[in-house]
Structure 1
Amino acid sequence: MNGALLFCLTFFLNPEKLSDILVFIALLLNLVYLIYLVLPFTPLGRKQIVSSKLPTDSNSLKLLIANVYQENKKSDDYHKLISSCNPDVILLVETNIWWQKQMDSLEGQYPYQIKIPLENTYGMLLYSKLEFNGGTVKYLVEQDIPSIETEVKLKSGQMVKLFCLHPQPPVPQENPRSTERDKEILLVAKKAKNSKLPVVVMGDLNDVAWSYTTELFGKISGLLDPRRGRGFFNSFNAKYFFLRFPLDHIFCSPDFSLNSIQRLKSCGSDHFPMCVNLHYNPQIEKLNNVSEASEEDIQFAAEKINATT
């Protein structure tokens, strides 16, 4: 957007007035700043998670996150996608009772499930081939917006702490602030940091990968973003090729390496599904690039968490 404005200002308006020149300089500086923010998510950036050199085995964990768009009725397309992708764990969000009924046939292949169908676009359906140890539904910030906490047992027997979330985005004229979203994201960051198990956080965070809150989440939690150094993998909006952002995320603790990351084809939703294949390997932690939280980061996160909604 800034680039288009700069182009128009330079070649069509031909700025000569001082005010036009100042606007031009401000847009140029803003463009440079935006490039600085997004550069780590291009192949020019440093990877946070090293690529795995090991084949898929009993320590692998393949995850699929998909915001299905509640009014979308193309459930058959998701069944075909799941069959093709063959993930170990599936998280579907924006799922109501209709979607639960359509996906119940997964029970044979995915016997471990946590279902929270809701009609407010914040329902969640979690399916797994791998055994769950426990599993609780939390309402961390708002009474009608759930998140999921459970433990997943890899085929090797290793337990992994899994958090699933879909916080409310800031909505103009309804909820213009991002207070609730930021609070939920940072509460999960603290829980992830305090976990004694390897951790995966997945969901539609309604926030771009390079935002200050998502950056802060990474520092507070100590979790890693497989997008860094590999590409944007923009998951929203699937309907407009010229306006897309990475909103659907899968983060992991530093004791994982990355087998693959894919943005999958659209199935009628305004979100593309994302599939990430991780490999648990505690020896790899020293090779991963972990962001450290400063005292200022910790203090600011605490202020966000304690802010009134």
Structure 2
Amino acid sequence: MVAGISPLRAGMRRLALIGGIAALLPLLAYGLGSLDWRLELFSHFLPHASVLLAVVAWVVGKGRARQGFALAGCLGLMATIQPLLPSSAKPAGQGGAIRLLSYNVYLHNPDMVDVQMQIARHDPDLILLIELTPVQWQQLHALRKRYPHGCAHPQDDPFGMAVLSRLPLRSCVVEGEDLGLPVIVARLERGPYLVGLHAPPPLSPLLASQRQAMLGHWSRRLADQPDALLMGDLNLTPWSPIYRQLLSNSGLRDARAGQGMLASWPAGLGVLGLPLDQALVGRAWAVADLQVGSAGMSDHRPLILTVAPRAQDAP
């Protein structure tokens, strides 16, 4: 019996070594993913890889392999936590708080009654709907009555969208519809300047370049906009170097800071999923609250952001 244990342990160690080597890819992609879109895909799994590296370090036993995997796991964990650390920006008070909801409803979702119920639970002031088709848009007539302001560009593909508001808007404009990648820019009479977008998933060279062009364009446009909020399904996580470039070039802050990972896709995986839906805020605003809601029949969980004017003494 003792003799039978040794081959089992050796097999487990061999599998752990293979898994550990594979888990190094997200750590490499965290630093170098901007060099190639295929490598960048691995960066989104940095939290999962960090946990796997810790497990591998325990399984492989003593020696340099254990030390190496343990060190890599610690580095991955530090990189995972860094964008989630609390921000120093504090709200000036409860006055002027605005709640926004971003929801990728999923273009094959047949139940718009459930979508409206999910939205009603959070009672937002402003709603961004993504992957919205013309049929779904027509089925949202009850919601549209309660939120009479806004604009929409539904499409029979993953890039249709709409913004609905119960607060008066100074303007609501759809841009980029000629390219099939609409972006909605909505300005409240009093409050933030919202940009809602759905970046293409980087699953091919063309889609990756389209995502890069879209994010680069809006990072430049929002660089001097302290009132700006950028929300939507960016098909990015905080561990992507492309995401860090977006924050750096735009000057916006990640609303997730201090709020947790808040995984949004795929909804069925819960906390084990990826935070692909994002909310970025300009320096005029502080995050009072950020949470994810129930997905219903969508593959994304909605992201609910509450912002308030930033305290004047906040850095």
TM bucket by the smaller chain?
Answer: 0.7 to 0.9
- Tell me the equivalent position of 1:191: 221
| TM-score normalised according to structure 1 size | 0.77
Contact 2:152-2:174 at 8 Å conserved across structures: no
SS, match of residue 287 in structure 1: coil
- Tell me the equivalent position of 2:21: none
- Tell me the equivalent position of 1:182: 212
Greater Cα radius of gyration, structure 1 or 2: 2
Q: Does 1:168 align with 2:200?
A: yes
* Whole-angstrom CA distance in 1 between matches of 2:303 and 2:252: 18
Per the alignment, do residues 285 and 36 of structure 1 end up closer, same or farther by CA in structure 2, a change over 3 Å counting? farther
Q: Give the total of aligned pairs.
A: 267
SS, match of residue 266 in structure 1: coil
**Structure 1 residues 186-265: aligned runs within 5 Å:** 186-195=216-225, 198-241=227-270, 243-265=272-294
* Whole-angstrom CA distance in 2 between matches of 1:263 and 1:106: 20
Per the alignment, do residues 222 and 167 of structure 1 end up closer, same or farther by CA in structure 2, a change over 3 Å counting? same
Q: Does 1:66 align with 2:103?
A: yes
Contact 1:261-1:275 at 8 Å conserved across structures: yes
What is the Cα deviation at residue 33 of structure 1? 3.0
Q: Residues 177-222 of structure 1, C-alpha deviation per residue, up to 9 Å, x if partnerless?
A: 6322122112111111133x61111111000023212222112211
- Tell me the equivalent position of 1:296: none
Q: Does 1:33 align with 2:75?
A: yes
The one-letter amino acid of 1:277's match is T
* Whole-angstrom CA distance in 1 between matches of 2:150 and 2:302: 19
| Unaligned 5+ runs, structure 2 | 1-47
Q: Does 1:108 align with 2:135?
A: no
* Whole-angstrom CA distance in 2 between matches of 1:31 and 1:231: 20
What is the Cα deviation at residue 232 of structure 1? 0.6
The one-letter amino acid of 2:202's match is P
Q: Does 1:127 align with 2:156?
A: no
What is the Cα deviation at residue 113 of structure 1? 1.9
Q: Residues 278-303 of structure 1, C-alpha deviation per residue, up to 9 Å, x if partnerless?
A: 1124xx25414xxxxxxxxxxxxxxx
| TM-score normalised according to structure 2 size | 0.76
What is the Cα deviation at residue 135 of structure 1? 2.5
Contact 2:264-2:270 at 8 Å conserved across structures: no
The one-letter amino acid of 1:257's match is A
* Whole-angstrom CA distance in 2 between matches of 1:37 and 1:80: 37
SS, match of residue 270 in structure 2: coil
Q: Does 1:7 align with 2:55?
A: yes
- Tell me the equivalent position of 2:27: none
Identity of aligned residues (%): 22
SS, match of residue 127 in structure 2: strand
Q: Residues 237-273 of structure 1, C-alpha deviation per residue, up to 9 Å, x if partnerless?
A: 1112363111111111111122221111121111110
Could you say what the CA RMSD is over the residues aligned between the two structures, in angstroms?
2.5
* Whole-angstrom CA distance in 1 between matches of 2:248 and 2:109: 36
| Unaligned 5+ runs, structure 1 | 289-309
